[in-house]
Amino acid sequence: MSLLDVSGLSVRFGNTEAVSDVSFTLQRGERFGIIGESGSGKTLTALAVTGLLPDGAAMGGAITLDGAPQPQQERAMARLRGKRIGMVFQEPMTALNPLMRVTDQIEEAIRLNEARGAPEIEVPNLLHEVGLEQRHGDRFPHQLSGGQRQRVMIAMALAGRPDILIADEPTSALDLITQRKVLDLIAAICAQRHMALLFISHDLKAVGALCTRVAVMHRGKLVETGLATSVFSAPKQPYTQKLVAASRFDVLPLSRPPIGDTLLEVDGITRDYRQGGMLFWADKPLRAVDNVHFSIARSECLALVGPSGCGKTTLAKIIAGLDRATSGAVRLGGTTYHGSDLPKSLRRDMSLVFQDPFGSFNPRLTIADSVGEPLRLEPELSSETKRARLVEAVEAVGLDAGMLTRYPHEFSGGQRQRLAIARALVTRPKLVVLDEPVSALDVSVRGEVLSLLARLQADFGLTYLIISHDLDMVRAIADRVLVMEAGRIVEEGKPGDIFARPQHRLTRDLVAARLPEVG
């Protein structure tokens, strides 16, 4: 008999079916992964298993645990889930009660599962098991980092000594190194406790690293189920094939203009943020960027990689003219600037593509208004020329000029990112700064956007500065890589060299944290 048996599961909201006819089984100690993009219904499936579906959701089908159906009574179901099923959610920032110390939150989980041992002994054990120290337990959630919070979540999930651990995108909000550590922790704990794992993610590599058996979910249905090795190496369904291909970042080599002379030079940029303190007494300022030097050549694609909070985004904003350096300077052409004092006449030579395609368009403006906004920097253009530029930019990113009169909410994430790129091109800039250009997109459209960026670079001779934490993406597209830690650049080189022979500790950690390719 299977530990968990889901058969014919469906979840409906009114007339829309979000999950339909999903069936799978989970054996004792097995590690099973569900892969799906946002909106595929994978999270709802996990919530259905734990009886945590939101109000208004109607469930069909059957879910049995050790052959027994889910209890009807809310209290019985709640206690069952506390005892048998542990859950780790995606958002470590909001998943813990902000007003309660970590120890108390773990202790509560222990007390709920009576006769499991004294909390005074269990809590330190659990903290130790998930790699935290006792002093972390005395803190409030906001005093912990994302990775530490996710460890706390795991400790709470383990408190009831469950048979199944359900992890729903547990690492997608974490940076690369932390992600690897948390994944390793989950794997180790599952092996040690002989606990079954139901792992839910959009990330094929994460699933590939953890699970022995996988299912691919698309628009509420399971399209393919099988052993991880066979699904990844020989995907049968077209959708799975597309996902596997997209996870590899195959960017076609294009003939590009040769790398030229220096376009932009960063000379000793430092950025301090004032923090805390009172009128006459200030805390030590936080140094986000610390005396950084580098230069970018014409038509080059330079990547800046590093863990979150290392200062790479701050640096990009200073270069693009959004933030101001505390000291140091940037030289573009013959002009020296320090960030937000970038002269208006030079702003047309520079543009920035943002990470989040949903936040980068004003919902109250038409696409034409938003995409055409940078044309204000070229007041000498006639309105016909401006219109022609708009059409040119939108068509360059593979969209139709007819979309210009529409509003942002009518577009998908991938389309919006294309439009954001169009906005960045509309002034025909020399340098485009790309801040995590694909990390907020679904896996299947990442490849398309990267190919588009490569093609635009070839067509227009653009220079790119790419900010990213994703080594695989960087490897696929960059000519040169800078590695950044705590505001400093710690290593520099060609991607092939750096990833083959990392010198700095951080680079080694980053390379080691890369998950193996699937298939």
Partner 1 sequence: MAQFRPPTEQASLPPGGRESGWGWFGPNLRMILFTLRRLLGFAVTLLVAALVIFWLLDLLPGDPAQFILGINATPESVARLRGQMGLDAPAHERFIGWVLGMLQGDFGTSYTQRAPVAELIWGRLGVTLPLSIFAMVISMAVGLPLGILAARRRGKALDTIIMVTAQTGVAMPNFWFGMLLTLLFAVTLRWLPPGGFTPWDEDGGAAFRGLILPSLALALPQASILARVMRTALVDVTGQDYIRTARAKGLTMGEAVWRHGVRNALLPVLTILGLQFAYLVAGTIIVENVFYLPGLGRLIYTAISERDLILVRGATIILIVTVTATMLLTDIAYALVDPRLRERSIP
Partner 2 sequence: MRRLLSHPSLVIGLAATVIFLVIGLLSLVWTPYPIEQIDIGRRFLEPSAQHWLGTDNLGRDLASLVMSGIWTSFLVATVAVAIGVGVGVPLGLAAAAWGGAVEWLVLRLTDFVFAFPAVIVAILITTLIGPGAVNAIVAIGIFNIPVFARVARGGALSIATLDFVAAGRLAGLGNAMIAYRHLLPNVMSLIIVQGTTQMSLGILAEAGLSYIGLGTQPPATSLGLMLDEAQGVFLIHPWLTLVPGLSIVLIVIAINIAGDGLRDAIDPRLRQGNPNVLA
Question: Under the rule (CB under 8 A), what is the footprint of partner 1?
Answer: 50, 52, 74-75, 78-83, 85-87, 89, 91, 93-100, 108-109, 112-113, 135-136, 139-140, 142-146, 148, 153, 156-157, 159-160, 273, 275-278, 286, 288, 308-309, 314, 317, 322-324, 340
Of residues 88 and 453, the one with the C-beta less far from partner 1: 88
The span from the CA of 262 to the CA of 243, in Å, is 38
Smallest distance, partner 1 to C-beta of residue 173, A: 11
- What tokens were used for 249? 């970042």
Q: How far is the CB of 145 from partner 1 (least distance, A)?
A: 5
Query: Which is nearer to partner 1, 12 or 161 (by Cβ)?
Result: 161
Q: Which residues pair with 433 in a beta bridge?
A: 352, 465
Q: In the structure encoding, which two tokens stand for residue 16, read together?
A: 């829309």
179 or 201: whose CB is closer to partner 2? Answer: 201
Partner from partner 2, partner 1, none contacting 362, C-beta within 5 to 8 A by type: partner 2
What is the nearest approach in angstroms of partner 1 to the Cβ of residue 310? 9
Place of tokens 């909201």: 13
**Distance in angstroms (rounded) separating the CA atoms of residues 77 and 82:** 9
Question: Considering CB distances under 5 to 8 angstroms, the limit depending on partner class, which of partner 2, partner 1, none binds residue 277?
Answer: partner 1
Given partner 1, partner 2, none, residue 415, with its beta carbon under 5 to 8 Å by kind, binds none
SS3 track for 357-399: CCCCCCCCCCHHHHHCHHHHHCCCCCHHHHHHHHHHHHHHCCC
- Site residues, partner 2 (CB under 8 A): 18, 38-39, 43-44, 47, 53-54, 90-91, 169, 317, 320-322, 344, 347, 350-352, 354-356, 359-365, 370, 373-377, 423
- The alpha carbon dihedral of 174, 179, 181, 184 has a sign of positive
**Least gap, CB of 292 to partner 1 (angstroms):** 17
Give the length of the chain: 519
CB 474 within 8 A of CB 468: yes
- Residue ranges of alpha helices (H) inside 159-302 are 176-193, 204-210, 228-233, 238-246
Nearer to partner 2, 202 or 446 (CB): 202
Q: How far is the CB of 260 from partner 1 (least distance, A)?
A: 31
Q: CA–CA separation, 247 vs 232, rounded Å? A: 11
404 Ramachandran zone, left/alpha/beta (phi>0; psi -120 to 50): alpha
Whichever of 141 and 447 has its CB closer to partner 1, that residue is 141
By a kind-dependent CB cut-off of 5 to 8 A, residue 351 interacts, out of partner 1, partner 2, none, with partner 2
The CB-of-198 to partner 2 minimum distance in angstroms stands at: 16
Q: Which of partner 1, partner 2, none interacts with 157 (beta carbon under 5 to 8 A by kind)?
A: partner 1
Tell me the three state secondary structure of residue 342.
Answer: coil
Q: Between residues 95 and 187, which has the closer beta carbon with respect to partner 2?
A: 95
Cβ-proximal residues to 210 (8 Å cutoff; 6+ apart), any chain:
31, 33, 183, 186, 187, 197, 199
Q: How far does Cα 83 stand from its chain's mean position?
A: 31
Q: Which does 100 bind (CB under 5 to 8 A by kind): partner 2, partner 1, none?
A: partner 1
Nearer to partner 2, 374 or 502 (CB): 374
| Alpha carbon distance 152, 135 (integer Å) | 13
Single-letter amino acid code for the residue at 467: I
